[in-house]
Amino acid sequence: MTRISFLSVWTKVIGAILLLAWPAFVMAGDVTGPITFVIWSDPPDIVDEHGKYSGPQADFGLEVLHHAGLAYQIRFGSFGAGYDQLLKDPTAFAVDVVRSQERENQLTWLTRTARSPELFVTMTGRKKISSFDEARALKAIVVEKQTYWHQELLRRGFRNLIEVYEANNSARVLRSGRANAWFTGPDSALYAWSSEGFDTSDLLIGDPVAFDDTYMVANKNFPKEWKIKLIDAVKMMAADGTIQRLSAQDHLQVQIPSQDH
């Protein structure tokens, strides 16, 4: 929420560091920076042919880092590989992780960044799907692997799934008729559909069946000094109007941290 044609190439470079913001390194206790900003390759979050990152994750996270004045590097790739780095790398942070009981003690939770709807997308002329019960009766539902949409369906016991990587693949599967519905978010569906050159008027978007609160998070051993700077940066962004601008642009619902850290 010319660029998308390069996405599949970049996402294959899962372990690569694609952008170094400043060459400076910083120390925080026993941890040496720069901070590693992890971005999932989930349209509309993309990197274009010029190495420019855009989308809700990049827009918000880069503003936080700039306001905090911290050196950083970006790691762009799949959710699975990115989440694994969050667990293992004490310099890692991200801005789009759904909070769950399983993850509660795995990460440092900094502040909520968005409330995202989950829904079923079908095509014009087909039945609108606006409940999990309706979806259970379908022959096949397409969903991207290693996403919170995928996890939600698995948690609810769905087995009628076509599992793919990347939203553009889901769009093609739905349009081909191989799947009766696509479980996703509205922004991701519309962006991927239009980037394939398909007419968005062909999409029939169901009512939200669930909502996910996504958070700005960091590794469990993320240095306290950096955590304080990032939280203070969000407060500065609220004061100078940056949060309001990004909320209108990217549909964010940022929760401003309290005065204590």
Q: Go through the domains of the chain in sequence order and give each one's CATH number.
A: 4-114+212-250 (3.40.190.10), 117-211 (3.40.190.10)
| pLDDT confidence of residue 29 | 52
The predicted-structure confidence for 153-207, as pLDDT tens digits, reads as follows 999 999 999 999 888 999 999 999 999 999 998 888 988 899 899 999 999 999 9
* 246-259: average pLDDT: 63
Task: Using alpha carbons, select from 167, 144, 142 the residue that is nearest to residue 46.
Answer: 167
Residue 81 has pLDDT above 70, yes or no: yes
Q: Using DSSP bridges, classify how beta strands 72-77 and 35-40 pair: parallel, antiparallel or unpaired.
A: parallel
Mean pLDDT across the chain, nearest whole number? 83
| pLDDT confidence of residue 206 | 94
Q: Determine contact, residues 167/192, Cβ cutoff 8 Å.
A: yes
Residue 134 has pLDDT above 90, yes or no: yes
The residues, ordered by sequence, that sit 6+ positions from 107 with a Cβ below 8 Å of its Cβ are: 86, 87, 97, 217, 218, 219, 220
CA angle 247, 148, 203 (to 5 degrees): 70
